[in-house]
Structure formats: C-alpha cells, structure tokens
C-alpha cells in the first residue's frame, strides 16, 4: 500500500482537513507542504462536484487527496473514487459488519462490489487498461475506517482484521461525546490506547487528529503513522483573530 510506504512512528505522514468550499484551500495546503489533504464531506458544505475539482488540484500538486465520506453508501464512495480520490475515511465504523460494507464499496470484485467506471478520472478517462484500473483500485486505494465510539473501540481488533481495511483513524472528539466525558478524561485515553494497541498488533497504520504542531509532535510520539493537523477554516479564523488583535494592541500602545 504505497500511501503508507514512507510512514512510520518517527516520521508520520502529515495531512490536514479541507472544510472550506473553495479549491484555493487545496492549493494553499499543498504549497504549505502537507503530504495529503482530507476533503471533508461529512462536516462541511462541500459537494461531490467541488470535491472532484479539489481531488484534481491536489493530484496536480503531488499531494494525496483523501475524502471523508458522509456515510457508508456505496454510491457516494464509488463516485468519490471515480473522481480520483486516493482513498476514503469512513466515519462511524462501529462493527466488523460496518467495516465489511465500507470495504465492499471500495474494492472491485472479487474483493468487493465497486462498479467499473473506467471512463472516469480514476481510469484516465478510458485510457487506462482495465487490468491496471482494477489493480489500482484494489491495491493502491486506501480504506480507512474511523473508530469513534465505545463499540468501535471494543471491535477494533475485528475491524482491523477485515481484508481491505488498510488503516484506522481514531476520532477522539466523537468518542468523548459518546462516553459523556471531556477529551482529556482518562477513560478516553484508555480507549485510544486500546485501539492503538490493536492496530499495532494487526500491523496496520493508525492515525489521529491534532490541532497544532506541538500537539502533533506529542501525538506522533504515541506511535501514529499518519496525522491530520488542523483544518483550513480554523487556520483562517485563528490568523484573522491574531492579526486584528495584534493591530489593536499595537495601536493602543502607541496612543
């Protein structure tokens, strides 16, 4: 699986969420040096048409475009992959059955049930041979379930054992909500530790989100092979607030 080929606990792959409905966000994050972007169809107004343009832009920059799909619907997953996504993050994968459903939508027969769409971008508009199109879809496209509930943590070993699951992503925010505690509660840490241990035992990469460089370094130290640091919307908001605050403070100091 070439997406994770250069990843390790010492040098995890670094990505960021794309939530703003503008292709320029992908341009900016690619220029900033991220290894991949995750186009978020679950928690943003981005639609499939715009997602396809973002996938194309990221690919042109040599940045891997992943897409977080909004659900487990095979039709949505297929269209995202036909648009050329490098892989998907699937939210709320709580069981082995959920994982099998997502994998089936991601892989071609006999490994899954994805339909052939070789005239799409994923098939180079019909110029890629059928054999190569199927090989890329079954070998190079990544399928990453999100573990973000107590049930998912309990089922982590089984989910990771499903053929076609390439890695898992730990959703601490939703997990803490489901547990009814804050993210820094010891029960959240214990749950995440169990999921990381399951991933390590399965020999599969494990990823997590972080808010800034300092938290990313700390998260990497836990053994993650890929990190999603920040998002375009919050980066813009923080910079805007910081600049206006600094201006008013400096003006006040000179008056």
Residues carrying an active site annotation = 43
List the one residue out of 230, 232, 236, 238 whose CA is nearest residue 20.
232
Q: Is the peptide bond before 105 cis (omega within 30 degrees of 0)?
A: no
Strand partners, 143: 88
Neighbours of 129 (CB within 10 A): 11
**Helix residue spans in the chain (DSSP H):** 24-32, 48-61, 74-82, 96-106, 130-139, 150-154, 156-160, 172-179, 186-202, 213-220, 232-254
Strand partners, 42: none
List the one residue out of 142, 144, 180, 152 whose CA is nearest residue 92.
152
């Amino acid at each position: 699986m070439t997406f994770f080929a250069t990843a390790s606990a010492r040098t995890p792959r670094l990505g960021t969420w794309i939530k703003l409905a503008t292709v320029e966000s992908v341009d900016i994050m690619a220029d900033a040096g991220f290894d991949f972007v995750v186009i978020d169809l679950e928690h943003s107004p981005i639609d499939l048409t715009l997602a396809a343009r973002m996938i194309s832009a990221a690919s042109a920059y040599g940045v891997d475009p992943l897409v977080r799909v909004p659900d487990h619907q095979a039709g949505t997953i297929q269209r995202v992959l036909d648009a050329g996504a490098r892989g998907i993050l699937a939210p709320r994968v709580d069981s082995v059955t959920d994982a099998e459903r997502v994998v089936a939508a991601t892989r071609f027969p006999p490994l899954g049930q994805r339909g052939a769409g070789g005239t799409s971008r994923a098939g180079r508009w019909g110029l890629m041979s059928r054999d190569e199109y199927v090989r890329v879809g079954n070998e190079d496209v990544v399928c990453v379930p999100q573990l973000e509930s107590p049930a998912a943590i309990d089922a982590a070993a089984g989910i990771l054992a499903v053929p076609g699951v390439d890695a898992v992503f730990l959703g601490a925010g939703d997990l803490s909500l489901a547990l009814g505690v804050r993210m820094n509660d010891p029960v959240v840490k214990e749950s995440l530790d169990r999921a990381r241990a399951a991933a390590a035992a399965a020999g599969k990469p494990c990823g997590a989100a972080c808010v800034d460089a300092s938290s990313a370094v700390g998260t990497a130290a836990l053994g993650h092979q890929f990190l999603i640091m920040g998002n375009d919307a919050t980066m813009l908001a923080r910079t805007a607030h910081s600049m206006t605050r600094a201006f008013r403070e400096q003006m006040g100091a000179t008056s």
